[in-house]
DNA sequence: TTTCGTTACGTTAGTCGTAAAGATT
DNA sequence: AATCTTTACGACTAACGTAACGAAA
């Protein structure tokens, strides 16, 4: 008898309804039926009387649920205690960020250090040219990535930052004189190319392949890091959509940043390998949820 | 965290040795390592300090083991209680036997009824032509089968009967004048054919394909039930090895039974579908173990 | 006829073993 | 070198979902 089975049994004893039980546990109704049947065969007696109208525990079932509820509570509190203790002794959590963005996470990191004085967070910088590899190779425990992230092995956690987008153009560029740009303008110029390390859907969400009206957006020279992008833009070899926070940290005489009026907001979320989830990771994610996203 | 994982953790905490833990739980050493590592990542702290010479629980590990031990005990006692209650309310256990053999099980059935007055055992007869199907289709909960039984989905339980073998021949048959037969004699005559419902290894163990010296044993007409066999033998169309208990219940004027001096003993064991194992089945098997096998 | 629970079957995720590598004495 | 744990990889079991079926009101 596995704890998963116990959880299903107890939920059914509460809900008294196979469908609602399945829904609460994100299972199919059939699965709930199978598990209960398996338990009944294991025990050797029916645990519920059921018709299509009513589900009611038998005396044996009721008694078993009572015992198992206690056991499950014990497991959960024991685990919670161990996790709490672990947070006082753990090694540093490596939090990946792209470019200068680590500075924007001060509030989160301070709040986390405040809650878990025994834990440490280490900010590590990675490049947008290969966004998921640091997590997969274990170079980072979490990574701050812009959404959408649709990778089956990764969990997308809370959104911690939301910001607008700007277009970086050379100071002498025709657009530089305007005080805002639009996605449609991208059709008239080359944009920086991010290389092949990231999946198309992810690049597309930041640097689209087509303007809203359907014109193709041309790819210019490629860059791996933010500084390389800035250089290319300053040389006038291309333009590049960027996230608004760069305007707070960079001012380059040869580059002008124009708000892109019709670009969707960029949402930055904590992301981690599902298989690598740990108490530390959950703690940081929960801290992020609690302090909320801020522009 | 599943109960299987808890069991592994607790065993390791007792043995303080990955290899012995694996052995006790019939697992590979690697698997133990994997599970512990998974738990450690889940908790977020090492649960054991280990070198190739020593395994020692950390304080967090020790504390967690203590909590989980209690939980596991609770699950097991709760389950045991439910099973005990089930034995008082259960439906009849259907015990399959071949031919007249049910009469030989009186002692077992009486002992079981004595121990579990709320339970019932119902003897059901099946044919040797298709020995495993009754279990697989659910027509029987247990089946008394001669060994060896090598079916991946079936569990072989205790041996409840052991007996010698006899050769059934027609009264007028040349062998009928002798007072014993040997396996070598089978090479001179046709034996009854059991049909294709049973696997070869199982048929072979009762009616071999070759004599000890290697001569081929010819197959005669086929029969599905014991009575059919007896008819064929009486008609002189074939001979047939049988189990010795038949001499206690059958005396047919046209048939003579000769002990087969060099045949191995037949061992009859309770067998059931592994997936269908229940408290009732375990109770009957345990009763059988306790009263022991008898000739 | 609708509402549930059950059964049948195909897919997939995770368990487990094998074999080889890595670490410690 | 010997002993024990960890890692890598492939096979297989069992968990799970989908869809069709069956029973009850």
Q: Measured on CA atoms in the order B221, B222, B226, B228, is the torsion positive or negative? A: negative
- For A163, phi then psi, to 5°, come to -155, 165
> B77 — contact with chain A (CB < 8 Å)?
yes
Residues B281 and B255 in one domain: no
Residues B195 and B260 in one domain: yes
DSSP B179: S
Domain CATH number, residue B203: 3.40.190.10
Per-residue confidence (pLDDT) for residue B222, from 0 to 100: 87
Residue B160 forms part of a structural domain: no
Q: Is residue A50 exposed (0-12), middle (13-18) or buried (19+ Cβ within 10 Å)?
A: middle
Distance B156 CA to D4 C1' (A): 35
For chain A, how are helix, strand and coil distributed in percent, rounded to 5?
45, 25, 30
pTM over 0.85: no
| Nearest chain B Cα distance for residue A63, angstroms | 8
> A39 — contact with chain B (CB < 8 Å)?
no
Residues B54 and B186 in one domain: no
Last residue of one domain, picked from the residues A55, A85, A115:
A85
Per-residue confidence (pLDDT) for residue B136, from 0 to 100: 80
Which residues 27-86 in chain B have a CB closer than 7 A to strand C? 27-31, 34-35, 38, 51-53
Residues of B in contact with A278 (CB under 8 A): 41-44
DSSP A195: -
Residues B180 and B245 in one domain: yes
Residue A160 forms part of a structural domain: no
Residue B187 forms part of a structural domain: yes
Residues B207/B211/B217/B221 CA torsion (nearest 10 deg): -30
| Nearest chain A Cα distance for residue B71, angstroms | 4
Residues B175 and B260 in one domain: yes
Flag if A86 and B6 touch (Cβ within 8 Å). no
Q: Residue A139 sits in which domain range?
A: 90-155+268-291
Distance B31 CA to C15 C1' (A): 9
What's the mean pLDDT in B236-243? 93
Whether the CB of B2 is less than 7 Å away from nucleic strand C comes out as yes
Residues B200 and B260 in one domain: yes
Q: What is the pLDDT of residues B91-132, one digit of tens each?
A: 778 899 998 888 889 999 999 999 988 888 888 888 888 888
Residues B139 and B110 in one domain: yes
Which neighbouring-strand residues pair with B237? none
Per-residue confidence (pLDDT) for residue B295, from 0 to 100: 46
B26: left (phi over 0), alpha (psi -120 to 50) or beta: left
Nearest nucleotide, CA B52 to C1': D4
Residues B194 and B248 in one domain: yes
- Say how many domains are in chain A: 3
What's the mean pLDDT in B127-145? 86
Residues of B in contact with A44 (CB under 8 A): 83, 86-87, 90, 278-280
Last residue of one domain, picked from the residues A35, A67, A85:
A85
Flag if A79 and B87 touch (Cβ within 8 Å). no
B197 vs A96, A184, B132, B206, CA distance in Å?
Answer: 64, 75, 9, 15
Q: Is A215 helix (H, G, I), strand (E, B) or coil?
A: coil
Residues A258 and A276 in one domain: no
Domain CATH number, residue B50: 1.10.10.10
| Nearest chain B Cα distance for residue A44, angstroms | 5
Distance A152 CA to D6 C1' (A): 26
Q: What is the pLDDT of residues B49-77, one digit of tens each?
A: 988 788 899 999 999 999 999 999 999 99
Residues of B in contact with A75 (CB under 8 A): 1, 6, 67-68, 71
Q: At what angle do helices B279-291 and B59-86 cross, to 10 degrees?
A: 80
What's the mean pLDDT in B215-239? 89
Residue B207 forms part of a structural domain: yes
| Residue of chain A whose Cα is closest to the Cα of B61 | A82
Residues B38 and B178 in one domain: no
What's the mean pLDDT in B156-182? 92
Residues A195 and A251 in one domain: yes
Per-residue confidence (pLDDT) for residue A29, from 0 to 100: 94
| Nearest chain B Cα distance for residue A39, angstroms | 9
Distance of alpha carbon B216 from alpha carbon B199, whole angstroms: 19
Nearest nucleotide, CA A50 to C1': C5
- For B258, phi then psi, to 5°, come to -115, 130
Distance B196 CA to D24 C1' (A): 44
Residues of B in contact with A41 (CB under 8 A): 276, 278
Are residues B175 and B181 in contact, defined by beta-carbon separation less than 8 angstroms?
yes
Q: A176: which residues sit within 8 A by CB, 6+ positions away?
A: A169, A170, A256, A258
Residues A97 and A78 in one domain: no
Distance B49 CA to C23 C1' (A): 14
Per-residue confidence (pLDDT) for residue B150, from 0 to 100: 86
Nearest by Cα to A274 from A159, A153, A157, A136: A153
What's the mean pLDDT in B249-261? 89
B168 vs B232, B234, B255, B266, CA distance in Å?
Answer: 10, 9, 6, 16
User: Residues 90..119 of A with a Cβ closer than 8 Å to B: which?
Assistant: 90
Spell out, as residue ranges, where chain A has pLDDT lower than 70: 90, 293-295
Residue B228 forms part of a structural domain: yes
Last residue of one domain, picked from the residues B52, B67, B85:
B85
> B64 — contact with chain A (CB < 8 Å)?
yes
A41 → closest Cβ in B74, B82, B278: B278
């Amino acid at each position: 008898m596995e704890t998963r089975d116990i959880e299903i049994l107890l939920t059914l004893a509460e809900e008294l309804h196979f469908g609602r039980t399945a829904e609460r546990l994100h299972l199919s109704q059939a699965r709930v039926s199978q598990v209960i049947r398996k338990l009944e065969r294991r025990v050797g007696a029916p645990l519920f009387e059921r018709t299509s109208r009513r589900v009611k525990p038998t005396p044996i079932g009721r008694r078993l649920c009572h015992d198992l509820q206690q056991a499950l509570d014990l497991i959960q509190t024991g685990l919670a205690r161990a996790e709490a203790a672990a947070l006082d002794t753990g090694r540093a959590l490596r939090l990946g960020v792209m470019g200068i963005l680590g500075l924007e996470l001060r509030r989160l990191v301070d709040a986390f250090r405040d809650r878990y004085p025994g834990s440490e967070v280490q900010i590590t910088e990675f490049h947008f040219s290969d966004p998921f590899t640091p997590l997969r190779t274990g170079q980072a425990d979490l990574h701050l990535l812009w959404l959408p992230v649709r990778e089956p092995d990764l969990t997308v956690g809370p959104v911690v930052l939301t910001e607008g987008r700007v277009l970086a153009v050379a100071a002498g560029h025709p657009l530089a004189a305007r005080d805002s740009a639009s996605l449609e303008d991208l059709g008239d110029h080359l944009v920086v190319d991010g290389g092949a390390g990231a999946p198309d859907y992810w690049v597309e969400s930041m640097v689209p392949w087509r303007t809203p009206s359907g014109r193709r957006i041309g790819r210019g020279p490629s860059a791996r890091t933010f500084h390389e992008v800035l250089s290319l833009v300053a040389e006038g070899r291309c333009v590049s959509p960027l996230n608004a926070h760069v305007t707070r940290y960079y001012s380059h005489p040869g580059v002008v940043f124009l708000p892109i009026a019709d670009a969707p907001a960029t949402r930055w979320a904590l992301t981690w390998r599902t298989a690598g989830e740990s108490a530390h990771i959950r703690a940081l994610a929960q801290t992020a949820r609690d302090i909320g996203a801020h522009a």
